[in-house]
Amino acid sequence: MKQIKEIAKILTQIDDADLMNAFLEDLLTPQEMEELCIRWKLITLLDDGVSQREIAKKLKVSIGTVSRGSRGYQYGNGGFKKILNKIKNSDIITE
C-alpha cells in the first residue's frame, strides 16, 4: 500500500517527540490512539514473557485481542522484535 510507505517515510523523518505526538494526535482518532497504546503495551508484555491470559486481564482486553497481537509478534514481519531490541540496546530512548 503506497500510503503506508509514505507515512512510514514521514515518521522516520520526525526527530522531535512533541512534533511526533502532535502528528499522531492529528492523524489518529482518540480511539485509534488508545488502541495503538494498548497494542504496544500488549507487545511489550508478550516480550517480557507475560502469559496471554495475564495480559488480557491486566489490559482489560479480550483474549482474542491478545492472540491477534501475539500472532503479529511471533509471525509478523519482525518489526516488533527489531524495535524492542533497539530499545533494549538503548538505540531508542522511550522516556
Q: What is the pLDDT of residues 23-63, one digit of tens each?
A: 999 999 999 999 999 999 999 999 999 999 999 999 999 99
- As a whole number of angstroms, the distance between CA 48 and CA 43 comes to 9
Return the pLDDT at 2.
Answer: 85
What is the secondary structure of 22-89 as a DSSP string?
Answer: HHHHHHS-HHHHHHHHHHHHHHHHHHTT--HHHHHHHHT--HHHHHHHHHHHHHS-SHHHHHHHHHHT
Residue with the bigger pLDDT between 16 and 95: it is 16
Calculate the average pLDDT of the chain: 93
Rounded to an integer, the average pLDDT of 68-86 is: 94
Give me the pLDDT at residue 28, please: 97
Q: Cell 516488533 appears where? A: 80
Q: How far does the chain reach from its first CA to its final CA, in angstroms?
A: 32
- Supply the DSSP symbol for 89: T
> Between 92 and 90, where is the model more confident?
90
pLDDT of 65 over the 70 cut = yes
- The whole model's pTM is what? 0.85
DSSP secondary-structure letter at 95? -
